[in-house]
Structure 1
Amino acid sequence: MELEQTIRQDYPFCTIIRKKQRIGNVGIWNTCMRYMLDVAKVPWALLLNNDIMMPPGSLGNVSVEAQRVVQNPEFCLGPTKLRNVRKMLWSALVVSRRTAQIAGFFDENIFPAYYEDNEFSIRIRKIHESGTPCRLFPVRVRNTFHHGPADSPDYISGTVIYYNGGGDQSKKVIQDRANAWNPHYVALKWDCPLYLWEKCKNMHPFGRSDLSPKDWAFDPGYRHCLETGESGGQFGCRYNVSVLPREPASSQISRVS
């Protein structure tokens, strides 16, 4: 609450969105993307992990660069990862309004984090494979953002809690369970060899031609397993494909089992 009070006091122009339950990193990013589309109605959004340190001037630079990129008609759907950013990968990215409209939102079956970025990358690649070729325009950042392990000299934001022993260890257990089973979900969805995300065979989720690449259906049982470890059984947490919409009688599908 202290952080929220500080933000309200020092940055009154900011909007704080509070959720009654834990929705994970994926849910938070989707909340930001929906805000971008439906409320702010702006052309792009910068999504950041909660453990990023931004030196003065960084956000202004990103704003100029992102605006330049998203206005280019040859721009790929993205999301655009930031160059000149140390150890960040998907910890900070620019997502355009067009990306959200065409590629959809992050798949919230992936909870609370880990491999949502791989799944989104696969999805965007499939969209571009079936459509018009595009070009990538990475956003240049002059003032380096910082992100890294808590025991690394590069890690200076100081917001890691449960990985340094100072917080709720139960959250770390959930993260570890997600790290173990979320990649299996991604591999099932796109028919990929595990961790070989460049070799996914499906052009549509679960091999169903009646589904667009952005389609996903939430499985509460899978979420419950990730959160509690219950119902996982011998084979761990598994997604139930029966939660997907019923297939049209005319569709020709190749289901992944």
Structure 2
Amino acid sequence: MSAARRSGSAGHNPGVLKQSSLLFLPVIMTGVVVYFSIWDAAFIVGGAPDLSETVSGGKTSQPLYVGATLEAWRNGSLSGRQLHAELGLKDAVIPAIYNCFSERYPLLDRSEGQPCFYLRTPIPVIGTNTVNNPAMLRRLVLSIDVPVQVIVIVVNTIPGEAGKQDELDMLAAIDELQELIGRSFFKVVRSGCNRGCAGGWNTIVHSTLDSPWWLIINDDAAFVPGALRTLYDYVSSNPNVAFYKLTAYQVFIITQRAVAEVGVFDENIWPAYVEDCDYDLRLKLSGVMVASRPPEFSNIHGDPESGSSSSLIDTRGGGHSGYGQRSKCSHSNNRIYYQKKWNLSVPGCGRQLEGMFQTPHGNPSRNLDSWTFDEEVRARSESCWEPSNRVDNWLREDAASYYAQVSVPGDQPASNWGQNLIRLQPEESELDTISEVQSSGGKDDAHCVSPFAEI
């Protein structure tokens, strides 16, 4: 199946983790009390589909005849919004309806007799970060086969002319989706820069602060047909769970409880890699409940045609030559920051290790949700992705010395490790120290963060 693959399976057992304990989480299908939660409407696309549908769930079963309505929409007698109104959906949308009669995406085929969509209580928010792959974004949106109230798309832009063109391509694709599905159901945040994973995820949360929970998915992933059909009931049946790892951090649910007790993602970790390690560690230190996916949930990841699982690599190398080396550069800075924050002698992604800090930077005044945006650390990682900087022109700096200078009062120095922060330089640069780079104008004061960042 190449790099594009299904994640999850019907045989996966749901569970909840609390300080390493594994408990069973039941999926409780609510009755008529919650609007639409007992409805399961199917429209099977085929040569001669049976348009008589069945609504089932809870303790009741009754027929629901939607065939005539769907046929009227198919032949143009009803608009998409009129169709949703006929189905009782005034404040939510089912994007998959708009792909019922179209050729399905590879790895997203429905089995014989499987519904095109499901009428359920609407998911409040589905959000994604995106950079430069319109086809994958379209596939993701059209794979949503249950009602959703808001789809949040954070459009990030990478440096250089190729990045600007990627942004225009993404905005054009989003405009087509809005025109097809309905603009009122989208919230599009045009960053004009790259907020990274942590900043993008935080932006999704901040843009819809009143939501009880947020379903966040990578833009190069998509939902397998039927994967979402029990998700709302699964979450609402387990109000004490703070965070759901549906497919690690490729697809996850963060709740208001998690935001209140653990906080949002640390945007000093940029643009990607290690933000999940940091959040995992904070979840464990907080003692909140973390659950796995329901047995029905699965998703695909990557591009089945190219075999790529990363949109950044897939198109124009993300606008960057030497993508791998640039990623290694910023990843190294992220890892060092994470180790310093928690006094870790080894990265130990998300693991509690002997001698580590119990609060960020060992500061008793900091709660688990506390992080202070560090412009200098971001500037170093931004240099890794500046197209004019050479991938082999690395300027190294002793991390312990740097952090000793910039610590917030009460922050403790990390012990027993010696690491180097990295900055890339232009080909012609012969500067030898970080201070020389800064005095030469190498530091960019305009940083790309979410409103949560403490600047």
Q: Which residue of 2 aligns with 1:162?
A: 312
Q: Secondary structure at the match of 2:216?
A: strand
Deviation at 1:235, TM superposition (A): 4.0
Q: Which residue of 2 aligns with 1:195?
A: 347
Deviations 1:148-179 (A, max 9, x none): 5x5xx5987x7833323633125935433222
Higher helix share: 1
1:3 paired to 2:173: yes
Secondary structure of 1:233's aligned partner: strand
> Could you say which structure has the higher strand fraction?
2
Aligned residues with identical type, % of pairs: 22
1:208 to 323, 341, 363: 363
Please report the TM-score for the alignment, with normalisation by the length of structure 2. 0.46
1:48, CA displacement in angstroms? Answer: 1.0
| Structure 1 segment 39-188 matched on structure 2, within 5 A | 41-69=210-238, 71=239, 73=240, 75=241, 77=242, 79-82=243-246, 88-128=247-287, 135-148=289-302, 160-164=310-314, 166-167=316-317, 168-170=319-321, 172=323, 173-188=325-340
Instruction: Give CA deviations for 1:63-119 in whole Å, capped at 9, x if unaligned.
Output: 3322223x2x3x3x3x2101xxxxx42111000111111211100000001010000
Q: Distance in 1 between matches of 2:270 and 2:187?
A: 24
CA distance change for structure 1 residues 109 and 56 in 2, over 3 Å: closer, same or farther? same
Once residues 29 and 95 of structure 1 are traced to their aligned partners in structure 2, the CA distance between those partners, rounded to angstroms, is 10
What's 1:246 paired with?
Answer: 409
**C-alpha distance in structure 2 between counterparts of 1:36 and 1:180, whole Å:** 32
Distance in 1, Cα, partners of 2:254 & 2:336: 26
Whether 1:33 aligns to 2:210 is no
Question: Is this contact kept in 2: 1:204–1:213, CA < 8 A?
Answer: yes
- The residue that corresponds to 1:250 in the other structure is none
Tell me the C-alpha RMSD between the 2 structures. 3.0
Greater mean deviation of Cα atoms: 177-186 or 223-232: 223-232
Q: CA deviation at 1:208?
A: 1.0
Match of 2:424 in 1: none
Matches within 5 A, 1:201-240: 201-229=356-384, 233-235=395-397, 240=403
Query: Separation in 2 of the partners of 1:123 and 1:155?
Result: 36
2:186 aligned with 1:14: yes
Aligned length: 230
Q: Which moved more, 1:139-148 or 1:43-52?
A: 139-148
3-state secondary structure, aligned to 1:90: coil
CA distance in 1, matches of 2:372, 2:363: 13
| Preserved CA contact (<8 Å) 1:48 1:91 | yes
Structure 1 residues without counterparts, runs of 5 or longer = 83-87, 129-133, 248-252
Give SS of 2:179's match: helix
Change (3 A) 1:143 1:217: closer
Distance 1:232 1:207, change over 3 A: farther
The alpha-carbon deviation at position 36 of structure 1 amounts to 3.5
Answer yes or no: is the 8 Å Cα contact 2:404–2:413 preserved in 1: no
Cα offset, 1:57, TM superposition: 3.2
CA-CA distance at 1:242 after TM superposition: 4.7
Structure 2 unmatched ranges of 5 or more: 1-170, 416-455
Amino acid at match of 1:217: T
Question: Any idea what the Cα deviations from partners look like across 1:176-204, whole Å, max 9, x if unmatched?
Answer: 32222211111110112322233161111
Structure 1 residues 138 and 162, CA gap change in structure 2 (3 angstroms):
closer
Cα distance change, pair 254–28 in 1 and its aligned pair in 2 (3 A):
closer
Q: Distance in 1 between matches of 2:237 and 2:204?
A: 21
In 2, Cα distance between the equivalents of 1:179 and 1:245? 23
Structure 1 length normalisation: TM-score? Answer: 0.77
- Once residues 347 and 398 of structure 2 are traced to their aligned partners in structure 1, the CA distance between those partners, rounded to angstroms, is 17
Structure-1 residue corresponding to 2:62: none
Check the 8 A contact 1:222/1:240 in 2, yes or no: no
Alpha-carbon separation, structure 1, partners of 2:174 and 2:313: 22
SS in 2 for 1:137: strand
Look up the equivalent residue of 2:212 and give its one-letter code: P
Distance 1:159-1:233 versus aligned 2 partners, 3 A rule? closer
